[in-house]
Amino acid sequence: MKRNQNIYKILFLNFLILIYISNFFEWRIDSKFNSIFIKKINEIYSQDGVVNLNEIEEKINIKKLKTYINKSNEINIGIGIDRKYTLQAMMTLASVMDTQKSEKWIRFHIAIVEDFQISDMVKIYSLRKNVRNESEFNFYNTSKVEKDLIGLNTKGSGIVARLLLPNLLPNDINKLLFLDPGDSLVIKDLTELFNWDMKNNIIVGVPDSVIGKKSIITKQIYKSYVNIGSCLVNVTLYKSDNVYEKLVKYKAYYHSHCGEQDLLNDILIGKIGMYPIKFGHISPFKNDEKLLFPNYFKKNLTSLFPINITEYLISGYTPFIIHQWNSKWHKGFGLTIFRRIAQYYIRYAGIWEEMCKIYPLYCIK
């Protein structure tokens, strides 16, 4: 009996040793892969100013990666960030990845500036493993906006970096959805939004309060004015109309926390379209007690705005995108139910402890 017990102990010990050896060699393989991965990213990004992390992994990974086949099922998302927005971007991107239909291929186009590092790219790329494989991550050097558009937005160059993105995209991309990282979450599949008929407009977005006021540069009354926190861009027209060059030319006219939005709406007057606010809804409450019923609902825009408080509340709880610009989550504000969803995606992205340490008000209960 005692002999049998000793045999079991030896077998168990051997089993533990095999697990250790297996984990050790797996760690060695992962470590070697990561080293090669980072080196190759740096090499291509330094040379081209743009890098597709999926393509690099495909070339150096033994396992075959899943790539998209049907181009009609792709959706292109564009954001602009500096290094301090890495975690917030991951939260927002995780919500995009989690809510799209399984057949959808998501292509992220991320404009980066200032001190953004290769390690930050790899960190964001980890979402592919943690959340959804059917995703593609492209990073673009947009550091030229630091000079070209200096002073346009008081929050810094990360905010305006996405304005250069359409110029840098390959010609096979015709539409791009701009999203604000950190204060926006995607709640539903975006097929309806991404397939929206833009007509001949360069940008289509959610109506904002400036409608009815007079523009500074073009000196016209705004019949359309959109919030670019979630807006659809016709990439082809954006390029052909030299929008970025116009932004650089007229940047001195605007300098505020939404300077790029004001400038874009001004120089593109007559080329801005609008779609329903469900595609970029603000929270119906600033917090759990205070209702926010915007005073800029226009009678001639009833197809875009809810026409009464009941419809407004319904639309506020059933949006495609919730855009919390009116009471920021990172300041601890906002309706609890949406703040809880933000916390869900922070956890899902695998950044809970880091986010809560750096931005603790995202994580309050």
- In the prediction, which pLDDT does 26 show? 40
- In the prediction, which pLDDT does 306 show? 75
Looking at the structure, do residues 269 and 172 belong to the same domain, yes or no? yes
Under the banding of pLDDT at 50, 70 and 90, the label for residue 287 is confident
Q: What is the pLDDT of residues 202-232, one digit of tens each?
A: 999 999 888 889 999 999 999 999 999 999 9
Looking at the structure, do residues 90 and 42 belong to the same domain, yes or no? no
Between the ranges 13-27, 49-63, 244-258, 305-319, where is the mean pLDDT highest? 244-258
64 occurs within a structural domain: no
Find the mean pLDDT for residues 308-315. Answer: 81
Find the mean pLDDT for residues 239-265. Answer: 97
Find the mean pLDDT for residues 109-114. Answer: 96
Q: What is the pLDDT of residues 190-208, one digit of tens each?
A: 999 999 999 999 999 999 8
Under the banding of pLDDT at 50, 70 and 90, the label for residue 3 is low
- In the prediction, which pLDDT does 25 show? 37
Looking at the structure, do residues 11 and 96 belong to the same domain, yes or no? no
Under the banding of pLDDT at 50, 70 and 90, the label for residue 65 is low
Kindly report the number of other CB atoms within 10 A of residue 20's CB atom. 10
57 occurs within a structural domain: no
pTM value?
0.89
Cβ 190 vs Cβ 179: under 8 Å: no
| pLDDT of 31 above 70 | no
Least confident range of 27-31, 197-201, 245-249, 319-323 = 27-31
Under the banding of pLDDT at 50, 70 and 90, the label for residue 29 is very low
* CA–CA dist 131, 94 (Å, integer): 7
Looking at the structure, do residues 106 and 21 belong to the same domain, yes or no? no
280 occurs within a structural domain: yes
Looking at the structure, do residues 194 and 321 belong to the same domain, yes or no? yes
- In the prediction, which pLDDT does 310 show? 81
65 occurs within a structural domain: no
Under the banding of pLDDT at 50, 70 and 90, the label for residue 291 is confident
| pLDDT of 18 above 90 | no
User: Which residues lie below 8 Å from residue 163, measured CB to CB, with a gap of 6+?
Assistant: 80, 145, 149, 243, 244, 247, 260, 264
8 occurs within a structural domain: yes
Give 135's strand partners.
106
59 occurs within a structural domain: no
Candidates 274, 287, 281; CA nearest to 322 is 281
Looking at the structure, do residues 27 and 77 belong to the same domain, yes or no? no
Looking at the structure, do residues 44 and 89 belong to the same domain, yes or no? no
Comparing 260 with 317, the larger pLDDT belongs to 260
Number of residues that make up the chain: 365
Looking at the structure, do residues 165 and 43 belong to the same domain, yes or no? no
Comparing 127 with 65, the larger pLDDT belongs to 127
CA 144 to chain centre: 21
Looking at the structure, do residues 113 and 20 belong to the same domain, yes or no? no
- In the prediction, which pLDDT does 23 show? 44
Q: Please report, for residues 66, 86, 161, 279, the alpha-carbon distance to residue 117 in angstroms, rounded to integers and kept in the order given.
A: 26, 10, 16, 32
Give me the domain span that covers residue 8. Answer: 2-48
Cβ 168 vs Cβ 244: under 8 Å: no
Which of helix, strand or coil describes residue 181?
A: coil
* CA–CA dist 359, 182 (Å, integer): 11
| pLDDT of 24 above 60 | no
Tokens of 74: 């792709």
- In the prediction, which pLDDT does 316 show? 86
132 occurs within a structural domain: yes
Looking at the structure, do residues 202 and 239 belong to the same domain, yes or no? yes
Comparing 116 with 68, the larger pLDDT belongs to 116
Comparing 98 with 333, the larger pLDDT belongs to 98
Looking at the structure, do residues 250 and 148 belong to the same domain, yes or no? yes
Looking at the structure, do residues 253 and 203 belong to the same domain, yes or no? yes
Q: What is the pLDDT of residues 134-174, one digit of tens each?
A: 999 999 999 999 999 999 999 999 999 999 999 999 999 99
Find the mean pLDDT for residues 313-319. Answer: 88
- The total domain count for the chain is 2
Q: What is the CATH number of the domain that holds 86?
A: 3.90.550.10
Question: Which amino acid is residue 296, in one-letter code?
Answer: Y
